[in-house]
Homo-oligomer: A and B are copies of this chain.
Amino acid sequence: MSERVSLMQGNEASVEGALDAGVRFYAGYPITPSSEVAEDFAAKLPPLGGKFIQMEDEIASMAAIVGASLAGKKAVTATSGPGFSLKQEIIGFANMIEAPCVVINVQRAGPSTGLPTSPAQGDMMQARWGTHGDHPALAVAPSSVADTYLLTFQAVNWAERFRMPVMVMLDETIGHLREKVILPSREEMIIVNRKHPQGSPQSFQPYDIEDEDLIPPLPPYGSGYRFHTTGLYHDETGFPANRPEITKRLLDRLHDKIDRYKETLYLYDSFGLRQANQLIISYGGAARSAKAAWRIAREKGLLVGLLILKTIWPFPEEIVAQAGHDKNNIVVAEMNRGQLIGEVERIMDKRIPIRGAQRADGVLITPEQILAQLEGVN
The interface of chain A, by Cβ under 8 A from chain B, is 59, 80-82, 84-86, 88-89, 92-93, 95-97, 107, 109-116, 118, 120, 122-123, 125-126, 128-135, 230-233, 242, 244-245, 247-248, 251, 255, 336-337, 339, 342, 345-346, 349-350, 360-363
Contact = CB atoms under 8 A, between A and B. Distances in A.
Contacts of A233: 109, 114-115, 362
A112 B97 contact: yes
B131 A111 contact: yes
> How often does this chain occur in the complex, in copies?
2
Contacts of A107: 132
A293 to B, nearest CB: 19
Given A120-B134, A125-B129, 19 more contacts: A59-B86, A81-B132, A82-B92, A85-B131, A92-B110, A92-B111, A92-B112, A96-B113, A96-B114, A107-B132, A109-B247, A110-B133, A111-B135, A114-B233, A123-B132, A125-B125, A247-B361, A251-B360, A345-B346
Interface centre among A111, A130, A233 (most CB of B within 10 A): A111
A110 B123 contact: no
B242 A362 contact: yes
Nearest to A97: B112
Closest A-B pairs by Cβ, 10 of them: A110-B133, A111-B133, A81-B132, A112-B231, A96-B112, A113-B231, A125-B129, A85-B89, A248-B361, A111-B135
A116 B133 CA distance: 11
Contacts of A244: 361-363
A122 B133 contact: yes
B112 A81 contact: no
Nearest to A338: B134
A240 to B, nearest CB: 9
8 contacts: A86-B88, A95-B111, A110-B134, A111-B131, A111-B135, A126-B132, A129-B129, A345-B346
A103 to B, nearest CB: 13
A111 B134 contact: yes
A96 B86 CA distance: 17
B134 A122 contact: yes
Contact of A130 (B88, B112, B242, B342): B88
A82 B132 contact: yes
Given A232-B115, A346-B346, A109 B133 contact: yes
A86 B89 contact: yes
Contact of A122 (B132, B231, B242, B248): B132
